Amino acid sequence: MRDGYFIGRHRGLYCASLYVNGKREGRFTLGTDNKESAERQVRELNAKRERDRLPSELTVDAIFDLYVKDREAEQKSALYRIKQCRAVIKPHFGALVASAIEKKTCTNYIKLRRNIGVSDATIRTELSYLSAALKFAVDMKLLSSRPRIWRPSQGRPRAHLNDFHLDRAEVDRLLEAAAATPHLLLFIIMALATAGRPLHILQLTWDRVDFLRGTINLDDPDQDRTAKGRAFVPMNDDARRVLLEARSIAETKYVVEFNGKPLKRVKGALERAAKRAGVKVSPYVLRHTSAVWMAEAGVPLEEIAQYLGHTNVEITRKHYARFSPTHLRRAANTLQVVRGSTGTAVPKIRNAK
């Protein structure tokens, strides 16, 4: 049953019609022929209508409900994860009003989650979505201020983990283990060939794959631009081969599909293949693997940054400079003590016994 403002057309312009319990109560012109502007005005009208119907002080669960609805309207890709986190957070924070959240509330939640074996990284993500929902409430003027959300300290960057990237032999074993799963094999090769973020590869459509020019455009014009840039990269021979095979049997507009539907997640299938191959890997590690291989081959950091879609080369330098064969080499050479015949003599060893 319809309830709220809906976009329509009236006398050549967009209009907003108010429906209450399925019946139209009124209609007025929005004064624009631009659909995007009209949709924004209708969203604002519905948001104001929701605010007017809300109690003076909202609970966290009510705020999350509005936050999820807004994310749904914006068709945000992280919606599934937001709903997961909301379900976990609800028993602890749901009945509270924002002003009741304090440090002890957060630390108790952290202890409860740790006690059942949840990692600090996951707890941090859950509380980050809580903080994002509260920020949304402030932006929508549902709250005057956002309470501080205490979270576990951020762990060491993935770049410092021993299993941060795969070597060539490990990738060969992984590809062999995924050979019987075409959509997974396609994803792995595309992830390595483009160094793209997992989500961006899953969102890739055929209209952004140019076989004639040999390019792959990971930048989706239908998605909001964020700090996480999307690159425009060349198509190497591996990518061309698997893309041509996939294109010949494609049923949807998406490059990576399964059973005639676009693939939303690949983590589970990848973990199962990794287990068969005897390696430890996640979808994001494939992106890091590509970046490490480029750095180890001596590719300039500026080029790697463009390939990764980094807007600032310093981000690339921070994570990948240490993999370059020339990294700190000049500094190390200046610190040499033992030199050749023309340099400093080798010092005699005393007390050898």
Name the nearest CA neighbour of 83 among 43, 46, 126, 41.
126
- Give per-residue pLDDT as tens, 41-94: 888 888 777 766 665 578 999 999 989 988 888 777 678 889 999 999 999 999
What DSSP string runs through 223-266? Answer: SPP-SS---EEE--HHHHHHHHHHHHT--SSBSSEETTEE----
Name the nearest CA neighbour of 132 among 68, 223, 209.
68
- Give per-residue pLDDT as tens, 209-257: 999 999 999 988 776 555 566 788 999 999 999 999 999 999 999 999 9
What's the pTM value of the predicted model, to 2 decimals?
0.61
Name the nearest CA neighbour of 131 among 98, 158, 109, 108.
98
Instruction: Report residues of the chain scoring pLDDT below 70.
Output: 1, 51-56, 77, 155-163, 223-229, 338-353
